[in-house]
Amino acid sequence: MTGTALTITTVQIDPSEVATRMLAAAFSLALSHPYLGTALWVVPRIPCPGLGTVAVDAGWRLFYDPAVVVNWSVAETAGVLYHEILHLLRNHADRGRITHDPRRWNLAADAEINDDLVGEKIRLPGTPVLPAQFGKPNNLTAEEYFLAIPQNSERVDAGEGTASAPDSRCGPGATGIAEPWFTDATRTLAEISGDDPVHAGLSPGHAQVVRQAVANQIRSFGIGSVPGHLSSWAGDLADPKVDWRQELATLVRNATADAMGASDYRYRRPSRRQSAFPDIILPSLRQPVPNIAVVVDTSGSMWGYDLGTALAEINGILNATGTNRQCTVLSVDAQVQACRKVFHADQVVVKGGGGTHMGRGIEGASNLTPRPDVVIVLTDGHTPWPSLPPYGMRVVVGLICRYGNPPETPSWARSVIIRD
């Protein structure tokens, strides 16, 4: 939620009254912030008695405990909806997954959001988490706040005299990690709703479409009509500085063109000039179709959404190069965990979750028969690399790095930075 543990009332609650209050809060927020309309109406509001909080999951579903919401005004409830929507728009789930510390990350993400909401004079229930509580200024990123929060901070549970963790949690839609208290809630929902498409949640691709739609709406309102933090977010999302897909496609095409240009003479097929020299066996000139292997980093530091996006893009790139044959995909963490020939990205076997050593993946690719001409490595870069290039193979590194400065890659590899 927003970062404060609340006392839950024990009086009799009318679920329909609370649902009406949630709807009124959504209308209120849509009126004051119309550019958020797409996100507001795509997020189902699901009552979950006993949850003890308001939270979102990675499928863009919002769960609320009626016993908590009944204590808030409509304005405060709208503020909480705004807060949770920003967790989803800012993609805190994917950004926080790498921290492996959901409590501290939840606080950091709350601080990133709440300073903007307080600046807008948005009403929030209780005492929201703010950067000053950790000795940091406003307008920094959640990553920066995360580093400033002590591991054993008393504000980790965000309690005012209480240690009730669920009351202060925004769910896996903010942290990227489904903890037991929230997993139980989604399991209960599945038992109740069955195959109801309203409660099925959004796929990562659909979620990204919604983010883009909201960004376009914000940009259409113009500067001065939208809070600065939303204008900045929409500008970053809608105007990527580098089209990494085109750059990666170019690198792959160049590498395959180099391999295809490595022509050689072979005696397996007669030369077209053989009839002119009946006493001499002439070789024919052969231009090979390159063999391509993809080494996929499946270590614990990799993010599923980035992995799926990159695989899909590589799938399209391979089709565009004209090599409409199967390629070999190796799933690698600290060792080669799976190796399979595939025609499409959805056939890839993804195994791993341990440490990272892409050198083992490149070595595994070099041991394939036939040896690949081009190896594409998809990784976040937090890995050791071989000191020398592999013999007879060209290497293209797709460096998945959403934020900050990317790690270094070996000078003998062609690299492109993949950003969302």
Query: How high is the pLDDT of residue 373?
Result: 83
Residues facing 338 on adjacent strands: 331
Q: What is the DSSP letter of 356?
A: -
Mean pLDDT of the chain: 78
pLDDT in tens, 47-56: 888 888 899 9
Q: Report yes or no: 96 and 110 within 8 Å, Cβ to Cβ.
A: no
Find the range with the poorest average confidence among 35-49, 85-99, 282-296, 313-327: 313-327
Looking at the chain, the domain(s) classified CATH 3.40.50 span: 244-418
CATH architecture of the domain formed by 244-418: 3-Layer(aba) Sandwich (3.40)
Q: Band the pLDDT of 129: cuts 50, 70, 90.
A: very high
pLDDT in tens, 201-257: 788 878 888 898 898 899 888 767 899 999 888 887 765 444 556 666 666 666 666
pLDDT in tens, 138-188: 988 888 888 888 876 554 443 332 223 334 578 888 988 877 767 666 665
- How far apart are the two ends of the chain, measured CA to CA in Å? 26
Q: What is the DSSP letter of 177?
A: -
Alpha helices in 43-179 (DSSP H): 66-69, 74-89, 92-97, 102-119, 142-148, 172-175
pLDDT at 392 over 90: no
pLDDT at 345 over 80: no
pLDDT at 100 over 70: yes
* Run of H or E residues at 313: helix 304-320
Tell which residue, 375, 378, 382, 387, has the closest CA to residue 417.
Answer: 378
pLDDT: is 348 or 74 the higher one? 74
Query: How high is the pLDDT of residue 90?
Result: 93
Which percentage of the chain shows pLDDT scores above 70?
69
Q: Is 195 left (phi over 0), alpha (psi -120 to 50) or beta?
A: alpha
pLDDT: is 51 or 346 the higher one? 51
> Helix (H, G, I), strand (E, B), or coil: what is residue 97?
helix
Query: How high is the pLDDT of residue 212?
Result: 86
Q: Which among 174-178, 276-280, 321-325 has the top mean pLDDT? A: 174-178
Query: What does the pLDDT average to over 360-385?
Result: 90
Query: What does the pLDDT average to over 69-89?
Result: 95
Joined tokens for residue 82: 């705004």
* CA separation for the pair 105, 121 (Å, rounded): 24
